[in-house]
Structure 1
Amino acid sequence: MTIACARNIAVAVLASSLSGCFDDTPDTGPVKTVDWYKQHEAEREAMLDKCRNNPGELKDDPNCVNAHEAKQASSFGEPTDW
């Protein structure tokens, strides 16, 4: 009984440690603030291009949201397309 228990624990530990190895969500880097994106137009546009290219995975990414909010604020509240 103790060998089966130890085996189950070993399998659980191995499975949980490998779960992060297969995360293929694109990395958008450290989270930048809306104010940062307002001051860095080129980086904002590059991030928005990346977000537009993969909206299924990146729509709710903090950098995509912040870059989008900065673009809206920069356009004085005019609607913008993602």
Structure 2
Amino acid sequence: MKLTVLASIIAGIAIGATGCSHEPKKAQYTVEQYLADRDLMNKKVEECANNPGELRNDPDCINARAAASKDSWGSLRDRPPVGLNSPASTEGPSSQE
């Protein structure tokens, strides 16, 4: 009887240990792959937004959101200058009244 109990305990520990040693989930698509297929990106972003409690840290959700963010802003290198150093406008209230 003691042997049966001991075998059951060992079996339980072995089964429990295998459940704890899983590898983290890897993303199915990269950011660049999502950017290349906007339909796939939009579908994944919508799926992730619909279930943020479970999918917030999902690698594909992270990649799809990064791709959507990059797609909406684009690269700063590709954007025209902002023009912060342009001369002040001559229009507006006059200092002479």
- TM normalised by structure 1 equals 0.68
Aligned residues: 68
From 63, 68, 81, the equivalent of 1:71 is 68
Mapped to 2, the partners of 1:57 and 1:34 lie a distance apart of 20
Question: Larger C-alpha radius of gyration, 1 or 2?
Answer: 2
Q: Percent identity?
A: 31
RMSD, matched Cα: 2.5
Letter in 2 for 1:12: I
Q: Which runs of 4+ in 1 moved over 2 A?
A: 1-4, 10-17
Greater RCO between the two (CA within 8 Å, min separation 6)?
A: 1
From 42, 46, 49, the equivalent of 2:46 is 49
Residue 11 (str. 1) matches residue 8 (str. 2): no
Unaligned 5+ runs, structure 1: 21-28, 78-82
Post-superposition Cα deviations, 1:34-82, rounded to whole Å, max 9, x if no partner, equal 00001000000000110011000101111111011001111126xxxxx
- TM normalised by structure 2 equals 0.58
Unaligned 5+ runs, structure 2: 21-25, 75-97
Mapped to 2, the partners of 1:40 and 1:15 lie a distance apart of 41
Mapped to 1, the partners of 2:8 and 2:15 lie a distance apart of 11
Mapped to 1, the partners of 2:58 and 2:15 lie a distance apart of 29
